[in-house]
Amino acid sequence: MSLLIDHISFKPTEEYHLNDVTLNFNPGKMYTILGRTLSGKTTLLKTIAGLQTPDSGSINFEGADFLSVPVWNRNVAMVYQQFINYPHLNVIENIAFPLKQRKMEENLIEKEVKEAMEKVGLIGFELRKIQELSGGQQQRVALARSLAKKAKILLLDEPLVNLDYKLREGLREEFKKLFSGSEASNSILIYASTDPLEAMQLNGDIIVIDEGKVLQTGSAKDVFENPATAKVAEITNDPAMNINKGHIQDNTLVMNNNVQIQIPDQLKSIPNGDYQVGIRATDLYLDDNGFSFDVEISEISGSETFLHLRNNDLKCVATIEEVKTYEANEVVKINFDKSKIYLFKETGELLHSPYQQ
């Protein structure tokens, strides 16, 4: 019962929204489409749902041509970032609407609606009108309606973005439970997100997309540890992985005239030459014996501080595990965890990962 997307392209203007996309989705699994805003995530979901017709390619589901199936006959449920509800109905009526359309028995409808409401934390709001709910509560209604429908394909387009932190965490765990047990054996969940941390927490298969093109697919762990390209490394990290030009010469990694690093043993087999050098913000740290950097911007985020740094033409971001205010142009000493350095070819392909055996 796999969903096969075969060489789908969609180019409504001069730019591709989907560019020769080929993917295979299997039931009982969770897939996260990770990409920046306007990367093609929503277009791909709409194409699967039948709300967007591609210019070329095919979609096959359960052995049949899915593109020839009308939207109303596709066993698909979709939750949008901008939630959609029926304002004239209360919470229960909204969630039960697709089940009544199927003419399900009333006692079964009640059971499915209650289960869905429990999963998203809506118990106690059964008779509220949509206008009486907060934005986050309205999103939960839309999510519950899709869960109650128990469609064979569930499409989630950044469904948690309008919810508070605690509820987002709880629902992510619920998604993982839903799609790891026997009840998920006949369903495919495809979740779109711009948040790399969210994609890793969901811990399913990840599909990295940019400018309508699939850049890499694989397990969350493999994509994070071994990004296929420098672009993937940027997309799968927040803050984006620091990518800068560098040159290896006689066991020294030269970033610029001021920042030169003695390379670790695992890089000594790399020939002299020009490369793109990657290192995560979390692998830069304050060190009195480090290199001098000027602080351009200091951002406090929770219990961390993001430092945007410059040393002549070399720019990078460091994540400092403390809350502290730094002044613009303040000089700080920064060092690199040499064991965590990535090397990419000048054309962007991964050459060395610290996780490679």
Residue-wise pLDDT tens for the chain (357 aa)?
Answer: 789 999 999 999 999 999 999 999 998 888 999 999 999 999 999 999 999 999 999 999 988 899 999 888 888 988 887 778 888 999 999 999 989 988 899 999 999 999 989 888 899 999 999 989 887 788 889 888 888 888 889 899 988 877 777 777 777 777 776 666 544 557 898 999 999 998 998 888 999 999 999 999 999 999 999 999 999 999 999 999 999 999 999 899 999 999 999 998 889 899 999 999 999 999 999 999 999 999 999 999 888 999 999 999 999 999 999 999 999 999 999 999 999 999 999 999 999 999 986
**Full DSSP string of 178-202:** HTTSGGGTT-EEEEEES-HHHHHHH
Whether residue 161 sits in one domain with residue 39: yes
Whether residue 220 sits in one domain with residue 80: yes
For position 291, what pLDDT does the model report? 97
From 232, 256, 274, the end of a domain falls on 232
Whether residue 139 sits in one domain with residue 88: yes
For position 182, what pLDDT does the model report? 40
For residue 283, the domain's CATH number is: 2.40.50.140
Residue 130 lies in a domain: yes
DSSP 3-state of 271:
coil
What whole-number distance in Å separates Cα of residue 108 and Cα of residue 52? 33
* Surface-to-core class of residue 251, CB atoms within 10 Å of its CB (0-12 exposed, 13-18 middle, 19+ buried): middle
For position 79, what pLDDT does the model report? 84
| Domain count of the fold of the chain | 2
Residue 90 lies in a domain: yes
From 232, 261, 295, the end of a domain falls on 232
DSSP 3-state of 113:
helix
Residue 135 lies in a domain: yes
Whether residue 145 sits in one domain with residue 198: yes
Whether residue 179 sits in one domain with residue 59: yes
Residue 268 lies in a domain: yes
Tell me the pTM: 0.89
Whether residue 212 sits in one domain with residue 137: yes
Residue 165: domain span: 3-232
300 has which bridge partners? Answer: 305
Residue 12 lies in a domain: yes
Whether residue 142 sits in one domain with residue 271: no
Whether residue 73 sits in one domain with residue 20: yes
Residue 357 lies in a domain: no
**Full DSSP string of 273-327:** EEEEEEE-GGGEEEEEEEEEEEEEEEEEETTEEEEEEEETTEEEEEEESS-----
Whether residue 66 sits in one domain with residue 89: yes
Whether residue 72 sits in one domain with residue 212: yes
Residue 237 lies in a domain: no
From 188, 213, 232, the end of a domain falls on 232
DSSP 3-state of 101:
helix
For position 357, what pLDDT does the model report? 62
Whether residue 299 sits in one domain with residue 257: yes
For residue 17, the domain's CATH number is: 3.40.50.300
Whether residue 277 sits in one domain with residue 177: no
Residue 219 lies in a domain: yes
Paired sense of beta strands 304-311 and 314-320, if any = antiparallel
